[in-house]
Chain A
Amino acid sequence: MLLEISDLRLVFHTPQGIVHALNGVNLTLEKGKVLGIVGETGCGKSVTGLSIMRLVPCPPGRYVSGEVLFEGNDLLKLPITEIRDLRGREIAMIFQDPMTSLNPVLSAGDQVAEAMQLHQHIGRREAIMKAVELFENVKMPDSQEMTLRYPHQLSGGMQQRVMIAMALSCKPKLLIADEATSALDVTIQAQVLSLMRELKNKTGLTLLLITHDMGVVAEMCDDVAVMYAGSVVESGELSEIFNKPLHPYTRGLLDCIPKPHVKEEKLPTIGGSVIDLINLPSGCAFEPRCAESQDICRKEPPTEALVGRSHRVRCFLNSGN
């Protein structure tokens, strides 16, 4: 097991109150697989990704409990110098908006070379040469010339390729992609996704895809985890989740995908609005929006239950009651 997150709880201390961002997240990720984390804005999926790299600013954040085991080591307990050693070398991350994620005053080549210079202890010239190679791997035209360009001279798709090249420069074991294609337009999105799949097949890279787009999940992922209000409400293999969704929220999400071949009067939605993470209810967090809720849902939070080979649900409707 490459990555194992158990009962991760994170809070943020803000002037408005304590924000309960993560409330007992459980995830597992096997080497060579692709795991997708889906959920709406505010559900905690990005924060989970950031937590693996320990990029969450603490303060104002604070990990209340839980572990993030990477190859058996708890990343939350390592000293920051060891974490910096892991970053870029063993675990890499790419972000949503490549334009703002690249430093405007450094050339593309320099930014890609930086990680290699640091982790592989090679000089600048050698690193830039390797960067050219990497640009070719990510299918950038004129790879030599591209290293000299500045971010504002590149298109969105190119910028994201630079980010990918940067992330993969030191051949990490795990790549976390936080909404990596959400800021790109659809055709470019398809290109970037197919590129990622190709790279994964070639190098045995493990991917953690964080997205709100079920389509991306369907295309790329082996396993899925659905998050709501800071915890994983359902997880399992792709086919299990898509064919037999158990949690009302998962079902709602899948229902929301417009079906072109079915005539519908109104597009289905999930009622209610995004939850307030400062004042969490004492029972199930999804209960206020759930059409199938029962009394017990209001009183206690449901625990995780294993239903099927690797299919887990956090819901009273499915724990055999």
Chain B
Amino acid sequence: MAMASANRNLVLLCKMLRNKSILFGLIVISALALMAVLADRLMPHDPLKIDLEKRLQPPSSEHLLGADSLGRDILSRIILGSRVSLGIALGVVLLSLTVGIILGTFSGYFMGSWLDEAVMRVMDILMVFPGVLLAMVLLGVTGPGFLNLTIAIGVASIAPFTRVVRGAVISVKENMYVEAARAVGESTQSIILRTILPNALAPILTYATLRMGVAVLYASTLSFLGLGIQPPNPEWGIMVSDGREFLRVAPHVSTFPGLVISMAVLGFNILGDGLNDFFNPRVRERRG
């Protein structure tokens, strides 16, 4: 029996990989992940080493992507920065996914009850604040730093996640097989864990992927504004901010980190789009 389900999962995986978007997205993300994990071995220079003689040097054989305002190697800082960005993205999604699944499942399963109404009203209030803003305010209260940044963005992501989970649970709930399970006398807990959640997994997974891209975007934006990761830590957002004053003479300082941010987010978006297409085939053919 275990073999059969393992085989089924393998078949599913193969089918997924045939989707070009999923494949491309996975390649980009894996490259980033590898970069983050093997950072120590990939970096050509010490990312924190200041070398004022090499200030603002354009790309050269020594510094493949050039040097920043303090002479630090941009490439190395970008490589190490991947660890920060992916770490935050992972932390954010784990936090908001967990809370979102708990709140959203109960809210959706008991749709229309006081619990559902209460949760939805609270989410309404949270969603009045655009994501970056909410995180900003939280950081204003708590102060900057890696953990605070993760928590702030995580909290800001709870409301949209809850909504998506709730929506997915509601649409699964409408299906006949849930009625059937209830008619047979299955307990609520069992229905939720064994029937509803596995079937709601698809949209939740897709949204989680897209949300990781959003998290990278938020993290770099907040750091750019000075509220997130603080210097001298290498983070893509601060690196762009560093290069702001030197746009005329050394545009590469801001350009390369921004490019990497875009590629990371693009990777998550493409993967998310691919997953969406995979789980929602919308081919309508008129025949017969």
Q: Name A residues whose Cβ lies closer than 8 Å to a Cβ of B.
A: 12, 14, 19, 21, 39-47, 50, 56, 277
| Any A CB within 8 A of the CB of B288 | yes
Which B residues are CB-close (under 8 A) to A39? 288
Contact B288 A41 (CB under 8 A): yes
Some 23 contacts from A to B, beta carbons below 8 A apart, are A12-B285, A12-B287, A14-B285, A19-B287, A21-B287, A39-B288, A40-B288, A41-B288, A42-B287, A42-B288, A43-B288, A44-B287, A44-B288, A45-B288, A46-B286, A46-B287, A46-B288, A47-B286, A47-B287, A47-B288, A50-B286, A56-B286, A277-B287
A47 CA / B288 CA spacing, docked (Å): 6
Which residue of B is nearest A39, CB measured? B288
Told that A44-B288, A47-B286 touch, could you supply 8 new A-B pairs with CB distance under 8 A?
Answer: A14-B285, A39-B288, A41-B288, A42-B287, A42-B288, A43-B288, A46-B288, A277-B287
Bound CA span A50–B288, Å: 10
A45–B286 Cα distance when bound, in Å, is 11
A40 partner residues in chain B, CB cutoff 8 A: 288
Task: Find chain B residues with CB under 8 A from A45 CB.
Answer: 288
Chain B residues near A (Cβ < 8 Å): 285-288
Kindly provide the distance from the CB of A160 to the nearest chain B CB, expressed in whole angstroms: 19
Closest 3 CB pairs of A and B: A42-B288, A41-B288, A46-B288
Closest B residue to A19 by CB, please name it: B287
CB distance from A182 to the nearest CB of B (A): 12
Q: Which residues from chain B contact A41 at a C-beta distance below 8 Å?
A: 288
**From residue A212, how far is it (CB to closest CB) to chain B in Å?**
9
Q: Considering the chains assembled together, what is the distance between the CA atoms of A277 and B287 in angstroms?
A: 11
**Cα A50 to Cα B286 with chains together (Å):** 10
Closest chain-A Cβ to B165's Cβ sits at a distance in Å of 29
Chain A nearest CB, measured from B162 CB (Å): 30
**Residue in B closest to A277 when the chains form the complex, CB atoms:** B287
| In the bound complex, CA of A12 to CA of B287 (Å) | 10
CB neighbours of A44 from chain B (8 A): 287-288
Chain A residues within 8 Å of B286, by CB = 46-47, 50, 56
List the B residue with the shortest CB-CB distance to A227: B288
> Within 8 Å CB of A14, what residues of B?
285
Chain B residue contacts of A43, Cβ below 8 A: 288
Determine the chain B residues whose CB is within 8 A of the CB of A50 once the complex forms.
Answer: 286
Nearest CB of B to A230, in Å = 10
Residues of A within 8 A of B288 (CB): 39-47
- Kindly provide the distance from the CB of B185 to the nearest chain A CB, expressed in whole angstroms: 34
- A45 and B287 CA atoms in complex are apart in Å by 8
Bound together, the chains give a CA A14 to CA B286 distance in angstroms of 12
Report the Cα distance A17→B255, complex, angstroms. Answer: 46
Residue of B nearest to A15 (CB): B283
| Distance between Cα atoms of A43 and B286 in the complex (Å) | 12
Return B173 CB to nearest CB of chain A, in Å.
Answer: 24
Q: Which of B285, B286, B287 has the most CB of A within 10 A?
A: B287
Chain B residues with CB under 8 Å of A12's CB are: 285, 287
Q: How far is the CA of A39 from the CA of B286 in the complex (A)?
A: 15
User: How many angstroms between the C-alpha atoms of A46 and B288 in the bound complex?
Assistant: 5
* Cα-based distance from A43 to B288 in the complex (angstroms): 5
Cα distance A292–B287 when bound, in Å?
Answer: 28
